[in-house]
Amino acid sequence: MTLITKYLDQYYRAMQQRHPAVLWFGDEERREIALTFDDGPHPQDTPQVLEMLAKHNIKATFFLVGKYVEQHSDLVRQIHQSGHQFGIHCYRHLPFPLENPVTLRAQLDRTRNAIANAGGIAPETIKDLRPPYGAFTSKTLTLLKDWGYQPVMWNNIPPHWMQPVSWTISQIFDQIIPGSIIVLHDGHGHGTKAAQILDIMIPRLKAQGLEFVTIEKMRESIVKELQKLSSL
């Protein structure tokens, strides 16, 4: 690990302790990692990402933007039919603390219903949520909990949209640990780079004995471990 990576690791661990209701990373005793995507669906980017995930037989979690869900419901169906998990990113990509609570809840519920309708699933099954820019306050977390949403963050988020693919690959592997939650983006023209990254990264991570799981499955593993510990 580089000094920056060590600092980031300490930061994410401190944040997990400070905000235990927020998922920053999974169980380090299990060789599971979660691959997640923000900012979609996008008509050019998302299909490239889905194609690469299918090539490597990987299931991921897509945190979707509500207004794009309404515009590209066919892609939402494709994500679901490919066996991936849905999460909510936002409706219009503004930091949650800047939104009026009434407006925010209406937008999140609208996004959830749009995803559910497009994917043909029950709205109440869509609980995982990632705030835009990772921005939240204690008040935000209280509201999200009251509304039935489960915040998800990350501990591995390379700025792949603004740098060469090789840099991103190096950063991912410098920061990867069992339980890592990786963030890439399948929107705003970043899909081609994301697909290239996946094609290089996935085989190498599999070779390290790491298993790709959805956020939902990662949460289940954590709950099982907590239940196991509580029974001792």
Catalytic residues: 38, 185
Q: What is the crossing angle of helices 45-55 and 73-81, to 10°?
A: 10
Q: What is the crossing angle of helices 165-175 and 191-207, to 10°?
A: 40
Query: Residue 120 burial (CB < 10 Å; 0-12/13-18/19+)?
Result: exposed
| Residues belonging to the chain | 232
Show Cβ contacts of residue 200 under 8 Å, excluding neighbours closer than 6 positions.
Answer: 165, 169
Our measurement of the distance from residue 66's CA atom to the centroid of its chain's CA atoms, rounded to an integer in Å, reads 15
Which residue, 125, 130, 166, is CA-closest to 148?
125
